[in-house]
Amino acid sequence: MAVSFYLDNRPNKNGDHPIRVSISINGNRYVTSTGFSVNTEKWNDGKVKNGSTNAKGETAKTINARLKEIDSFFSREETLLKLGDIQEIDIKTLYAENFAKKKLEKIEITFFGCFDEFTEEMGKKNNWIKAVYEKFNALKNHLTAFNPNMKFSDLTEPGLNNFVDYLHTVVVAGKKTKERDTRVFGMKNTTIKKQLGFLKWFLRWATAKGYNKETSYQTFKPKLTTPDKKVVFLDWDELMAVYNFNIPESKKYLERVRDVFCFCSFTSLRYSDVANLKRSDVFASYISITTIKTADSLTIELNDYSKAILKKYEKDVFPNNSALPVISNQRMNEYLKELGELCGLDEPVTITYYKGNQRYDEVYPKYALIGTHTARRTFISNALMLGIPPQTVMKWTGHSDYKAMKPYIDIADRAKAESMKMFNKKELNIKI
């Protein structure tokens, strides 16, 4: 869908230019006037500049609120069309019924218009990456499907419980065809908690802005059983098996994937940071980066393994002066599973999760669970098991919250306990 606003080339008698809207949905397009006008000097990037007024005394806040309302309304209509809740959209009729005859005095920001304002403001303020915008867009789609006419007053405790119930039943994967139905229903409890976390963030912002008066969300804590997070990583022997694996000629495309994965396993880099690693970031004994996700400035010392991987590619030329041959995240995740299977990383791993009160235990070979982020988990887990203090590891990884390290410390403690049991395998000759 495309909703765009632009100024008419012809000014009116006040010298302002009418603001027109173009709405395109499913191949149909409708162009009309919004009923507002503004001077060209007060118009920028599809909206009125903040603090401006037009010849009629209408403020930028009032005009932009209406433009957001139009955009949000037709975005919701398109979503409902895609979901199959409505069969067709008559853009002209909908516009006439909802906007053409509305009096300006009745203009008020809608729930979804407010949501759009939140994502725009917070996105710019916090320099959101694409993935964060996608997460909030997914939440908006769920809220729209749940209640397309949502108001803040709907989000009482019963309303929030109803939304949670909806998330327990929503389609999360698969599709229905004439031959078979592969749809999977219901979010995992962990996913629902994340959705509620995003929603509460928005509601806190809306409350602070004065848009929201309903505060039930502040104490809303539904019972959602969640197991401890499963940390999938490669222990030292497994990492060495991957590092030293002799990749067959027919699968040489896996070699660079293996090298990048291992480099991250020896440095703690996220995929986004290794993809952005430039030769100018690499020094004789360390790398110096500003992380993509958190904008932290980190200095990470190089060990013999990471140095060897960098040396292997030091004479190769990659786009954007990259230090290593990094492919797309999606493709790399696919190849890593293939590589893990070749390397024999087939130890069964049980993943436990809950949907509502129902517990599910699914067993996978370890290679099926390996992705780019496994490398960072591998670094942290092995570093702690080698006895490196958590505070030092956190300086390399950029973690500022000790809580985030706890799952890894627990792993290291369990490994320590298992190592002590090795003494029990020896014949003892104790003299008292």
What are the tens digits of pLDDT across the range 193-230?
Answer: 999 999 999 999 999 988 899 999 999 999 999 988 88
Domain boundary (49, 79, 108) is at: 108
Distance, in Å, from the CA atom of 179 to the CA atom of 177, rounded to the nearest integer, reads 5
- Please give the backbone phi and psi of residue 53, each rounded to the nearest 5 degrees, phi first: -135, 155
Domain range enclosing 34? 2-108
What average pLDDT does the structure give for the chain? 88
- The mean per-residue pLDDT over the stretch 330-355 comes to 95
Helix (H, G, I), strand (E, B) or coil at 24: strand
- The mean per-residue pLDDT over the stretch 175-204 comes to 91
Same domain as 116, residue 97 = no
- Overall domain count for the chain: 3
- At 419 the pLDDT is 57
Same domain as 162, residue 133 = yes
pTM: 0.66
Domain boundary (78, 108, 138) is at: 108
Residue 149 is assigned to a structural domain of this protein: yes
Query: Which amino acid makes up residue 364?
Result: Y
Same domain as 120, residue 100 = no
Same domain as 356, residue 248 = yes
Please identify which residue in the block is written with the tokens 């993809």. Answer: 275
Which element (helix H / strand E) includes 298?
A: strand 297-301
| Angle, in degrees to the nearest 10, between helices 372-385 and 402-421 | 60
Percent share of the chain, pLDDT over 90:
59
Same domain as 10, residue 136 = no
Greater pLDDT, 215 or 55: 215
Residue 299 is assigned to a structural domain of this protein: yes
End-to-end CA separation in angstroms for the chain: 83
- The mean per-residue pLDDT over the stretch 17-23 comes to 94
Q: Under 8 Å CB-to-CB from 380, ≥6 apart: which residues? A: 233, 268, 393, 397, 405, 408
How confident is the model over 76-109, as pLDDT tens digits?
Answer: 888 888 887 777 888 898 888 888 755 444 455 6
Same domain as 361, residue 384 = yes
381 contacts 230 by C-beta, under 8 angstroms: no
Same domain as 285, residue 202 = no
Please identify which residue in the block is written with the tokens 């005859």. Answer: 101
- Please give the backbone phi and psi of residue 52, each rounded to the nearest 5 degrees, phi first: -90, 160
- What CATH number is given to the structural domain containing 263? 1.10.443.10
Residue 85 is assigned to a structural domain of this protein: yes
- The mean per-residue pLDDT over the stretch 10-30 comes to 90
Q: Rounded to 10 degrees, what is the CA torsion of 75, 81, 82, 84?
A: 150
Query: Which amino acid makes up residue 41?
Result: E
Same domain as 316, residue 257 = yes
- At 103 the pLDDT is 47
Please identify which residue in the block is written with the tokens 């010392």. Answer: 301
How confident is the model over 236-267, as pLDDT tens digits?
Answer: 999 999 999 999 999 999 999 999 999 999 99
Residue 180 is assigned to a structural domain of this protein: yes
Lowest average pLDDT, out of 208-212, 317-321, 369-373, goes to 208-212
Domain boundary (77, 108, 139) is at: 108
- What CATH number is given to the structural domain containing 146? 1.10.150
Closest listed residue to residue 297, CA positions, set 400, 200, 390, 177:
400
- At 385 the pLDDT is 86
Radius of gyration of the chain (CA): 28
How confident is the model over 103-144, as pLDDT tens digits?
Answer: 444 455 689 988 988 998 898 888 888 889 999 999 999 999
Closest listed residue to residue 15, CA positions, set 68, 65, 56, 71:
56
* 277, 390, 415, 416 from 419: Cα distances, Å: 37, 19, 6, 5
Torsional sign, CA 60, 62, 68, 71: negative
Same domain as 297, residue 378 = yes
107 contacts 99 by C-beta, under 8 angstroms: no
